[in-house]
Amino acid sequence: MAAIAADDGSDSDDAICLFGNVAVSDDISKSWLVNSAASAHKCWMRVCFDDYHTTTGRSVTMCDKGSVATAGVGTVVLNVIVQGKTRKIKLKKVLHVPTMGFNLMPVGMMEERGAEVAFKGGKTIIKSSDKIAACGMRKSGLYHLDMAPLSHIAAMASPQLGHERLAHVSVAGVKRMIKNKDIAGLKCTFMARKDACEPCVYGNEAMTHMPSAGGGRVTKRLQLVHSDLGGPKSEPSRGSALYFGTFTDEFSCRTDVVFLQEKSDLLSEYKKWLTKAQLHTESTIKVLRSDNGGEYVSNAFVGGRA
């Protein structure tokens, strides 16, 4: 395996990609292009990464799209064809640029790591330690690496990615399916699990028990009454009322509605309702519960409701 790392040793978090008039076709999107203008390895497919870390505040400057944010950085292992045989190339510190639509291998970055890149007769040859590490052909003016076909349609970069794609089945279950070959073509290039699944963490949380604030269920009428005030309405009632008040008994679930021309009429209507309710039920109101609106916490209502 030839190791070609994309470590430029600079302090800058930005990368440059000068690429003009590139149509993102299916052929280009799956290929790796050998390019002399880019300053860092770039890959747009998350599935290609083995070791992956998310990044923030880093961008790639592209001539046609301007500044594009990167999503992460990691290691990519390429299966290339050299003289009819499949070999692996390991690229380190590859930038993940999801919106780019194609993959780039910069000439300058490979030369800094000791590799030799030659272009001749419509072909490119990359040598590392005097051995051919990769080859490529020129197609439509772009040099494409000779890549092994992606036979594993369900290939994944990690079991965590498989966990997310397979409806959040356990990672152990993903590894078991890979080992037992339960799914045709299911393959994983990096078996270690590093990331926790945030949706699963939230989904497995137990709901905290909410204690009852009332100290138990009511046992008789008027032990607890709920009240609320609504309005003003856009159209008045036949009695010129724009507001209404409700009184709901917790025990019987009976709700009485009173109509009000003004919000301040709530206290007088409450007293009328209370007289009738206590006479009808032969009980005394214990608790009146509201939303603590201004009409309920006013001095007039608090002092005159008993």
How do residues 112-137 score in pLDDT, each as one tens digit?
A: 888 899 998 999 999 988 888 899 99
* Residues 80 and 178 reside in one and the same domain: no
Query: How many helices and strands, by DSSP H and E, does the chain display?
Result: 8, 20
- Give the pairing type, strands 131-139 and 142-145: antiparallel
User: For 24-46, what is the mean pLDDT?
Assistant: 77
* Residues 146 and 164 reside in one and the same domain: no
In a domain, 204, yes or no: no
In a domain, 209, yes or no: no
* Residues 16 and 129 reside in one and the same domain: yes
Instruction: Please say if the pLDDT value at position 178 is more than 70.
Output: yes
pLDDT in tens, 204-234: 888 777 666 655 788 999 999 999 999 999 9
- Across the chain, what does the average pLDDT equal? 79
* Residues 146 and 166 reside in one and the same domain: no
* Residues 134 and 274 reside in one and the same domain: no
* Residues 239 and 264 reside in one and the same domain: yes
Instruction: Please say if the pLDDT value at position 2 is more than 50.
Output: no
- How far separated are the first and last CA of the chain, in Å rounded? 87
In a domain, 179, yes or no: yes
In a domain, 219, yes or no: no
> What range does the domain containing 128 cover?
2-150
* Residues 166 and 243 reside in one and the same domain: no
* Residues 114 and 235 reside in one and the same domain: no
Instruction: Compute how many other C-beta atoms are within 10 angstroms of the C-beta atom of residue 300.
Output: 11
In a domain, 254, yes or no: yes
Instruction: Compute how many other C-beta atoms are within 10 angstroms of the C-beta atom of residue 285.
Output: 18
pLDDT at 39: 81
Q: If pLDDT is split at 50, 70 and 90, which confidence band does 9 have?
A: very low
* Residues 39 and 142 reside in one and the same domain: yes
Q: What is the pTM of this model?
A: 0.45
Question: Residues with Cβ < 8 Å from 257, sequence gap 6 or more?
Answer: 244, 245, 246
Instruction: Compute how many other C-beta atoms are within 10 angstroms of the C-beta atom of residue 65.
Output: 14
Instruction: Please say if the pLDDT value at position 245 is more than 90.
Output: yes
Tokens in use for 232?
């003003």
pLDDT at 12: 42
Backbone angle region of 102, left / alpha / beta, with phi > 0 → left and psi within -120 to 50 → alpha: beta
Residue 245 belongs to domain with CATH number: 3.30.420.10
Tokens in use for 97?
């640029």
The structural domain count of the chain equals 3
In a domain, 104, yes or no: yes
* Residues 6 and 143 reside in one and the same domain: yes
Residue type, 110: M
pLDDT at 27: 61
Cα 259 to the center of its chain, rounded Å: 49
In a domain, 110, yes or no: yes
Q: If pLDDT is split at 50, 70 and 90, which confidence band does 77 have?
A: confident
Q: 194 or 177: which carries more pLDDT confidence? A: 177
In a domain, 54, yes or no: yes
* Residues 136 and 176 reside in one and the same domain: no
Top mean-pLDDT range of 6-15, 93-102, 123-132, 238-247 = 238-247
* Residues 231 and 139 reside in one and the same domain: no
C-alpha pair distances (Å), 12 with each of 35, 60, 63, 70, 126: 20, 11, 19, 14, 27
